[in-house]
Amino acid sequence: MKNKFIGESERRLRLALALAESLAPVILMIDEITEALPDRSTQAADGGVSQDLLAQLYDFSSRDDLRGRVLLIACTNLPGKLDVAWHDRFQIIPFLELVPEDMVKLFPLYDKRLNGRTSLNPEDELLVEASLILHQKGASPRKVLDIVNHALLYSNAKELSSRDILTAARDYRGSASPERVAFTSLSAIALTSWQSVLPWSHTPKDYKYPWYLQDLVHRETGEVDKQKLKTKLEEYRRYLN
């Protein structure tokens, strides 16, 4: 989007937004919005181009005449850096790390993706154990793919076995900074727009809470203790640097 010529970046964005409006109904997707568009307090070394682009998007996203015609979706791994002006413009939904019951289903999917076939069964007790280990170590879906790849090093057969996956899971050392992962997830929870979109909202008693949520969520109601959440955010913030 950005261009080295003065005014060209802004012109390109105006054209893109005008095109989106002419194609309505349409969905616009901004990936890594906090990196693509720094917040207003950030002084980017681009002569104010980022701020001009941001202003255009703020104006576009707040237009009532586009409601129901243009759906703007944005993603970020750093919700704490999201400019406050976006808080009112987006319905914020958190995506936390996988629970073991979800993670175990990825093994056969990734195996088939890499090898064209799979004999892995998500109900295999060794895969269940591997998913529990990886959940404790804070493995992301992308890291699970790396672990399946790593498991191929241990495989002596034509097909990947659940034992290979378990060996690779045990070999994985875990997230370099669990507290940093916790801060990101807690930031997303703090910004969440609706109680009903929290991943445990429908089954708070049965949800497998990650370690940093163990004492934050009421197991009967699913309500988050806001004061404890604030305290934990302050505690883990120092791990960002």
pLDDT digits (tens, 9 = 90+) for 72-90: 999 998 888 888 888 888 9
48 in Cβ contact with 37 (< 8 Å): no
Q: Establish if 2 belongs to a structural domain.
A: no
Say yes or no: 49 and 110 in one domain. Answer: no
Banded model confidence at residue 7, pLDDT cuts 50, 70, 90: low
Q: Could you say which of 155, 171, 187 is where a domain stops?
A: 171
Mean pLDDT of 96-100: 83
Q: How many distinct structural domains can be found in the chain?
A: 3
Are residues 84 and 18 located together in one domain of the fold? yes
DSSP state of 217: B
End position of a domain, from candidates 56, 89, 122:
89
For residue 4, what pLDDT band results from cuts at 50, 70 and 90? Answer: very low
Domain around 71: 8-89
Q: Choose the final residue of a domain: 69, 89, 109.
A: 89
Q: Is the pLDDT of residue 134 over 60?
A: yes
The CA distance from 30 to 33, in Å, is 6
48 and 64 in a single domain? The answer is yes
Residue 1 resides in a domain: no
Q: What is the pTM of this model?
A: 0.72
- 157 and 201 share a domain? no
Give the gyration radius of the chain's Cα atoms: 22
| pLDDT at residue 49, as a whole number | 59
Is residue 133 in some structural domain? yes
> Quick one: 201 and 186 in the same domain?
yes
